[in-house]
Structure 1
Amino acid sequence: MAARKRSSQGVTHVPASDLVSLPRQRSTEGAVEPTSATNPPKIAVALHDGYYGCTSGTGFSNRAFLEVLTRTLPPGRLLVIPVRIPRSDPSHDPVWVAETERILRRAGAEVVPVPGGRAATAAVAGCEALCERVTEVARLHLADVPAAQLIGLDIPFIGLGSHRRAEDPFSLLLVPRSTSELASPEDQRRVRWEHKGLTAAVSGGAHIAAISHHMRGHLEQVYGIPRHAVVDLPNGLLLSDHRDVPLVPLPPRAGAGFLLAMGRAVESKGFEDLLEALRLLGAQGERVPHLVLAPTTHTENLTDHQLQLHAMVRDYAIDATFLPRFSPHYRAWLRSSALRGVVVPSRAEPFGRIPLEAFAAGAAPVIATRAGGLTETVVDGITGFTSEVRDPMDLARAIWRALHISDREREQMRARSRALLTARHDYEATIRSYLRQYTPWAMTLSATARGRA
């Protein structure tokens, strides 16, 4: 067997050759038998974003998930299975990787990357191949432990249930942070694949996590997941996450005051509606602050959708800075004293992380549509201002209200937003609650380990 490698951060990496060479011992009934009583139970986590870099809010959420596990599980209990992103990929961030591995080192985590790259998650065939590889990694590396769970983070791993066998030595939890029915319903091949994968997972005894009340209803009503198979695992933030975010310079024209809108460059984010709302405000004589607009991707060239948005900015003569490439540093602008408002114009939103990012950073007000999970965080007149979905005129009214609040109202909104974040969206508390309820064995030290402690 090839030797295991340690990075400079001390995280154990297993070479790809081990995926087919690790020995397994099985009883005559086919169940996996532990080879040693000293092997601890394990949690395995498969993820496509958040290890080698961060391309969206999903990457932040995925790494936060890993960080909570490193703080919660005893050492040696965590197996991480990331989709390998090569250094040549624009989304590969060496600084992010170093920080991720520093976090994992604390837990003595084992890391087994699977090949595929970012392109593998773009098509159903690629996701199927990833699910097969991840299941085989879990089967090999968890064969000798007394208890284990495999957690698949987000859409590319919805098909894990189709590859899991009844005799496999691990239970399964799927955490879809969105679905194709929400984000791209026109992609019926992918929608059918998700339905098939979720049905197979539930038939095999898996749980499906709901990251919001909206997602619970969506999974039950649209995907037909039975209520008993859905567990509440609401998304959130690590409450200390924004304390050490380094400040970065604002775009040159934003210093006198700006609105901020950011997210993936897809139609469901509603950036067209925002630009139309700003055009309406300008036509009414309203002085609109500079717009920092970040509809982002990691592609080398602008996508058709980005080109459309850029043309709208030009044709509407909107004073804007257009940022088509994602950077985790953009969220530092949420702490700027020049920020006049954060706009989230989504047409569909399973949860909506950006409002929580704003709450944590003390940014106010947030202006958001009443789309999906956004209604659980942005409450009109309380934690922000809201508008109807796909209604630029109503969004223009909400932005106008935000631009005309008093300093006192802004401070009250900040305080209420922070209280909501602390009370409902402490991600560390949420994940620990799940572990205590569904995998208590993962958090319990053995008698031998307790004696050493």
Structure 2
Amino acid sequence: MAAHKRSPQGAIHVPTGDAIAPQRQDGRRRVVGPVSSPTTQPKIAVALHDGYYGCTSGTGFSNRAFLEVLTRTLPRGRLLVMPVHIRPSDASYDPAWVAETERIVQRAGAEVVPVPGGRAATAALAGGEALCERVAEVAREHLARAPMAHLIGLDIPFLGLGLHRRADDPFSLLLVPRSTSELASPEDRRRIHWEHRGLTAAVSSGARVAAISHHMRGHLEQVYGIPRHAVVDLPNGLLLHDHEDLPSAPLPPRAKAGFLLSMGRAVESKGFEDLLEAIRFLKGQGTHMPHLLLAPTTHAEGLTDYQRQLQAMVRDYAIDATFLSRFSSRYRSWLRSPALRGVVVPSRAEPFGRIPLEAFASGAAPVVATRAGGLTETVIDGVTGFMAEARDPVDLARAIRRALHISGPEREQMRAQSGALLTARHDYEATIRSYLRQYTPWAMTLSLAARS
């Protein structure tokens, strides 16, 4: 197997057997990558902003899982990967994660073309607009000779791709919003308007938009006005082997006697303050509470204002808790701990909700979640977990109390039912392959010459 090459900026380029192009700078973008052969194969191209150089949230896990399925499904040399470039000096750059991603794409003989932009490309609207223009240009250049090609944009930063499409573009388009600004930041009206314009333009040019849950399908159709025929169901899920070799994180000493776990991005929509209010309510009623592992995380060096607010609540309410502010993928290993008493997902808004599936895959039970968006599709009250109304700390307290008093046989039954739901509905590999068979069957078929 050929060794991978690294550009001076830390970008990874995996040889496919073609010549390597010299670096070029045209004033707007800097692209390094293999030169397309005159007899290029059909191609699937993927643009992603999280999950290649590191992982900052569930989106990163989902994006890399998507990428891994493509590497295992497509014939060698059919995949073009366009990650938003992150420098090694960035706090979100994870060398171990990058090494694993390199291994995954190298296995498929993928062509990797990092797109300039960094974190600024996803943090501000102007950066997002420039990013979509760059991705369209890179796709146009690298897919020009492909007899058939399909571009997939994973998540919010690429919802403006439709605004940069041309009638003669050599690729069809699929957009996969894992959330929207209407859900994540409803106060940002300019970005929401941009998403509306981008999605409308994409659909008008024949693109499809993927719904990662029934909730997101309704949201896209009703709030963003996407026609029903343009929305394809591509439910989020897990690679069912994903937790087999999960490295363990040391369990904090105070958690060894029993603990609740709650983790996610440090944003208000995750509802962590509702959880702390619920624990305060339970303590006031005399309920003995296990230790709380609370992980509202970011990649920032210091604490955000929201994290400081949560820390102050923990202190003022005298909650026995370990507060974890920096993201680590190793926290997932605590889902396998025999000391775990329950997993709490107190979201106020949730397009899908990956954490319950992570818990199901690890055999963690019970899961306590709110009736927010996609969570209702995985956490079924009394079957795979316990439910509470969103933004209702008292109702959440009741659900946590039910979880703490579950019997051993009930816990085992819940584990079995949640595992069955995961396998039946959220096998991500089966879902993505089904999409490819239906919409891009040419990408999975070897030509006669290739077979020879």
Q: TM-score range by the shorter chain?
A: over 0.9
CA separation in 2, counterparts of 1:202 and 1:21? 28
Per-residue CA deviations over 1:105-126 (Å, capped at 9, x if unaligned) read 1100011001111132011101
SS in structure 1 of the partner of residue 296 of structure 2: strand
Normalized against structure 2, the TM-score is what?
A: 0.94
Change (3 A) 1:335 1:35: closer
Letter in 1 for 2:173: L
SS in structure 1 of the partner of residue 282 of structure 2: helix
How many residues were matched structurally?
A: 437
User: Within 5 Å, which residues of 2 pair with 1:44-443?
Assistant: 44-443=45-444
Structure 1 residue 17 corresponds to structure 2 residue 17: no
- With 244-253 and 151-160 compared, the bigger mean Cα shift is at 244-253
Measure how far apart 1:332 and its partner are.
0.5
Measure how far apart 1:11 and its partner are.
2.0
SS in structure 2 of the partner of residue 79 of structure 1: strand
CA separation in 2, counterparts of 1:7 and 1:87? 12
Measure how far apart 1:6 and its partner are.
2.3
SS in structure 2 of the partner of residue 441 of structure 1: helix
Which residue does 1:30 correspond to in 2?
Answer: none
Per-residue CA deviations over 1:117-147 (Å, capped at 9, x if unaligned) read 1132011101111101111110000000100
Letter in 1 for 2:339: A
CA separation in 1, counterparts of 2:24 and 2:62? 30
Letter in 1 for 2:103: R
CA separation in 1, counterparts of 2:174 and 2:145? 20
CA separation in 1, counterparts of 2:380 and 2:22? 49
SS in structure 2 of the partner of residue 99 of structure 1: helix
Measure how far apart 1:227 and its partner are.
0.2
| CA-based RMSD | 1.8
Per-residue CA deviations over 1:169-227 (Å, capped at 9, x if unaligned) read 00100000000111111111111111111011101110000000000000000000000
Cα pair 2:82 2:114 within 8 Å, conserved: yes
CA separation in 1, counterparts of 2:22 and 2:57? 28
CA separation in 2, counterparts of 1:443 and 1:435? 8
Change (3 A) 1:14 1:374: farther
CA separation in 2, counterparts of 1:10 and 1:205? 31
SS in structure 2 of the partner of residue 234 of structure 1: coil
CA separation in 2, counterparts of 1:121 and 1:5? 27
CA separation in 2, counterparts of 1:200 and 1:346? 32
Measure how far apart 1:17 and its partner are.
1.9
Per-residue CA deviations over 1:256-282 (Å, capped at 9, x if unaligned) read 100000000111000010000000000
CA separation in 2, counterparts of 1:94 and 1:5? 15
CA separation in 2, counterparts of 1:96 and 1:265? 21
Cα pair 1:5 1:14 within 8 Å, conserved: no
CA separation in 2, counterparts of 1:35 and 1:260? 51
Letter in 2 for 1:306: Q
Change (3 A) 1:232 1:368: same
CA separation in 2, counterparts of 1:182 and 1:282? 32
CA separation in 2, counterparts of 1:354 and 1:404? 22
Cα pair 2:31 2:113 within 8 Å, conserved: no
Cα pair 1:16 1:114 within 8 Å, conserved: no
Change (3 A) 1:250 1:20: closer
Cα pair 2:31 2:114 within 8 Å, conserved: no
Measure how far apart 1:298 and its partner are.
1.1
CA separation in 1, counterparts of 2:267 and 2:128? 20
Letter in 1 for 2:377: E
CA separation in 2, counterparts of 1:365 and 1:281? 18
Structure 1 runs (4+) greater than 4 angstroms displaced: 7-10, 13-16, 18-22
SS in structure 1 of the partner of residue 198 of structure 2: helix
Cα pair 1:15 1:112 within 8 Å, conserved: no
SS in structure 2 of the partner of residue 104 of structure 1: helix
Change (3 A) 1:39 1:290: same
Change (3 A) 1:311 1:35: closer
Letter in 2 for 1:287: H
Per-residue CA deviations over 1:363-407 (Å, capped at 9, x if unaligned) read 000000000000000000000000001000000000000000000
Normalized against structure 1, the TM-score is what?
A: 0.94
Measure how far apart 1:5 and its partner are.
6.9
SS in structure 1 of the partner of residue 260 of structure 2: strand
SS in structure 2 of the partner of residue 282 of structure 1: helix
Measure how far apart 1:14 and its partner are.
6.7
Change (3 A) 1:329 1:190: same
Per-residue CA deviations over 1:302-332 (Å, capped at 9, x if unaligned) read 1111111111111111000111111110101
CA separation in 1, counterparts of 2:361 and 2:388? 22
Letter in 2 for 1:80: V
Letter in 1 for 2:327: F
Letter in 1 for 2:116: P
SS in structure 1 of the partner of residue 348 of structure 2: coil
Measure how far apart 1:35 and its partner are.
7.3
SS in structure 2 of the partner of residue 75 of structure 1: coil
Change (3 A) 1:163 1:15: farther
SS in structure 1 of the partner of residue 400 of structure 2: helix
Cα pair 1:383 1:414 within 8 Å, conserved: yes
Change (3 A) 1:224 1:21: closer
CA separation in 2, counterparts of 1:297 and 1:20? 29
Which residue does 1:6 correspond to in 2?
Answer: 5
User: Tell me, which stretches of 5 or more residues in structure 1 are unaligned?
Assistant: 23-33
Change (3 A) 1:15 1:126: farther
SS in structure 2 of the partner of residue 209 of structure 1: strand
